[in-house]
């Protein structure tokens, strides 16, 4: 079973990764699904999305949970049931998948948001829609692609934490300047509804993917 690796974000937060090498049928046989998840799976038109969905359930099983412990609130945000397992502290979870990788991140202390994205040149075509492209100046083409992917991940991760209608990536979420894509961390701000919130960001490269994790400061 291709559990890929875990990354310790801090003393209370860990991310887990599944590299999807199985075919759909194998994942379907191994993943334990409740009825509502099975219905959701059947509505997915893309096999890639189906496999990503199932790989998330495999990760839950790998760390001692299952699809039966996972539920979504009215805003589509995931949560873990912990009372039946005798866990007293609240656990926060975030989920992401992209092509060959699925990831979940569990935090015992703070809400968490994650994003995993494959690094592809087309990110530069849509970059003006979600970021200040001046942040890509004087970089090589390769570094522009990677940095734009990181910035997309930053904004997506913060949005997953807040999940409020009306939040705009280019107008409300701002990453601090970072010169090198190898720095692995930076900060970001959400300025929305006359409130400013700060977030600590960590990012990593996993093969041809960028993984980003956001936590409130």
| C-alpha to C-alpha distance for 100 and 21, rounded to whole angstroms | 7
Q: For the chain, how many structural domains are there in total?
A: 2
What pLDDT score does 81 carry?
85
| C-alpha to C-alpha distance for 144 and 58, rounded to whole angstroms | 34
**Model pTM score:** 0.93
Range 21-28 average pLDDT: 96
What pLDDT score does 94 carry?
98
Pair 129, 185 in one domain: yes
Pair 20, 92 in one domain: yes
Pair 76, 121 in one domain: no
| C-alpha to C-alpha distance for 59 and 211, rounded to whole angstroms | 16
Among residues 109, 133, 166, the one where a domain terminates is: 109
Pair 20, 71 in one domain: yes
Question: Containing domain of residue 100, as a range?
Answer: 3-109
Comparing CA positions, the residue from 140, 143, 136 lying closest to residue 119 is 143
Pair 44, 74 in one domain: yes
Pair 81, 133 in one domain: no
Pair 129, 197 in one domain: yes
Residue 215 banded pLDDT, cuts 50, 70, 90: very high
**Model confidence over 61-103: pLDDT tens digits?**
999 999 999 999 988 899 998 766 666 667 899 999 999 999 9
Neighbours of 207 (CB within 10 A): 10
Among residues 109, 135, 160, the one where a domain terminates is: 109
What pLDDT score does 46 carry?
95
Give percent of the chain with pLDDT exceeding 70. 95
Pair 82, 96 in one domain: yes
DSSP string, 127-175: HHHHS-GGGGTT--HHHHHHHHHHHHHHHHHHHHHH--TT--HHHHEEE
Contact 3, 55 (CB under 8 A): no
Residue 129 banded pLDDT, cuts 50, 70, 90: very high
Q: What is the CATH number of the domain that holds 190?
A: 3.90.470.20
Pair 45, 104 in one domain: yes
Contact 68, 57 (CB under 8 A): no
Looking at per-residue pLDDT, the higher value among 85 and 168 belongs to: 168
Pair 76, 94 in one domain: yes
Pair 99, 9 in one domain: yes
Among residues 62, 83, 109, the one where a domain terminates is: 109
Residue 2 banded pLDDT, cuts 50, 70, 90: confident
Pair 14, 81 in one domain: yes
């Amino acid at each position: 079973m291709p559990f890929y690796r875990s990354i310790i974000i801090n003393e209370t937060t860990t991310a887990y990764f599944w590299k999807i090498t199985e075919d759909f049928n194998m994942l379907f046989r191994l993943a334990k699904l409740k009825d509502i998840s099975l219905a959701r799976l059947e509505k997915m038109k893309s096999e890639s999305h189906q496999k990503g969905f199932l790989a998330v359930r495999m990760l839950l099983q790998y760390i001692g949970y299952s699809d039966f412990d996972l539920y979504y609130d009215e805003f589509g945000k995931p949560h873990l049931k912990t009372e039946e397992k005798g866990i007293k502290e609240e656990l926060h979870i975030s989920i992401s998948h992209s092509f060959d990788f699925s990831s979940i991140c569990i935090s015992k202390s703070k809400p968490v948001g994650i994003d995993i994205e494959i690094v592809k040149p087309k990110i530069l075509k849509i970059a003006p829609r979600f970021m200040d492209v001046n942040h890509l100046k004087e970089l090589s083409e390769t570094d522009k692609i990677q940095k734009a992917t990181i910035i997309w991940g930053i904004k997506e991760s913060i949005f997953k934490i807040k999940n409020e209608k009306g939040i705009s990536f280019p107008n409300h979420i701002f990453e601090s300047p970072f010169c090198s894509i190898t720095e692995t961390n930076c900060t970001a701000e959400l300025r929305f509804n006359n409130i400013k919130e700060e977030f600590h960001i960590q990012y990593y490269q996993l093969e041809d993917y960028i993984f980003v994790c956001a936590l409130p400061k």
